[in-house]
Structure 1
Amino acid sequence: MGKSTHNSEKPEYFLLRPEVEKAYGYSHAVKIGNHIKISGAVSMDDEGNPTAVGDLEQQMKNCYADLDKILKHYGCTFDDVVKEDVFTTNMALFLEHAGYRAEIYKNHFPTGTWLGVKELALPELMIEIEMEVYKTN
């Protein structure tokens, strides 16, 4: 019999900003086995206040900075991302700045969906990025 994988399949939850996440009612990431699901990252400070208000490009960079922290927590990089979904309140503006993603994904792009939405959790937020990761051992 091989090594039991029972323990590795137990969900591991990670909170990037525990106070904010508890207030809104979500966990920023959960790892089950080799799979990690990451909640949508937005441009906010540690108190949950929107940052880079009115600047979609900087909001996008702030999202990726938070996502990078979560990936590092699990010993991952953007190379391990297999799905990336982007939600934006201004698709035309996002498309102008989407080239920045080539600095994030240097080796290959993940699968993903880009959705234009009417609004996000707070009116100042213009972009939200969520990810799924597959971590190889």
Structure 2
Amino acid sequence: MSSLQYYNEPGAGQKHSDLCHYSQAVVVGDIVKCSGQGGWDNTGALDANDLHRQVELAFENVDRVLQTVGLRGWEDVYSIRSYHVDIRRSHDKFMEMLNRRIPGHRPIHTEIGVPALAFPQMMIEIEVEAYAGNN
């Protein structure tokens, strides 16, 4: 058995962990790796008709998972990978949210257009890595 520490935030994080057999975050030394966070609410519900709300909720979910591990949230992120089912429609909203959440901080970021994500209603998924050494 691994000595790594795995975390799930209560609500949708634990629900998805149980449903899909994975953890929301793992701590590897001073690094926290966060599983992809979609635009679901705290119950796990997704609104396939509201792309911009999914982007907002995905940002909130990243914050919630990082805070569950004991980090501040987006301020500790150094790497972002975002997956977009409709990158042309979600890119501007994603950039708006990034600028709003961490205006003075610029992590590395790779933005990827994909044909589909894990749940059929998902339009966005954000995967991050964060530095825990400051905490």
Give the TM-score range, shorter chain.
0.7 to 0.9
What are the Cα deviations for residues 53-104 of structure 1, in whole angstroms up to 9, with x where unaligned? 2211110110111111112222323121010110010011112312221001
Please, which moves more after superposition, 116-125 or 68-77?
68-77
* TM value normalised by structure 1: 0.84
Q: Distance in 2 between matches of 1:25 and 1:40?
A: 14
Please state if 1:11 is matched with 2:4: yes
TM-aligned CA distance change 1:55 to 1:19, over 3 Å: closer
Q: Distance in 1 between matches of 2:67 and 2:61?
A: 10
Please, which moves more after superposition, 61-70 or 40-49?
40-49
Task: Report % sequence identity.
Answer: 27
- In the TM superposition, 1:21-32 aligns within 5 A as 21-32=17-28
Please state if 1:63 is matched with 2:89: no
Shift of 1:33: 1.5
CA contact (8 A) 1:89 1:127 kept: yes
- In the TM superposition, 1:1-137 aligns within 5 A as 10-16=3-9, 17-50=13-46, 52-73=47-68, 74-97=70-93, 98-137=95-134
Shift of 1:19: 3.1
CA contact (8 A) 2:59 2:97 kept: no
Query: Stretches of 4+ moved more than 4 A in 1?
Result: none
Letter in 2 for 1:66: N
What are the Cα deviations for residues 29-65 of structure 1, in whole angstroms up to 9, with x where unaligned? 0012210000000122444332x32211110110111
Matched position secondary structure for 1:122: coil
RMSD of equivalent CA atoms: 1.7
Structure 2: runs of 5 or more not aligned: none
* TM value normalised by structure 2: 0.85
Larger radius of gyration: 1
Shift of 1:106: 2.0
Structure 1: runs of 5 or more not aligned: 1-9
Letter in 1 for 2:21: G
How many residues align? The count is 128
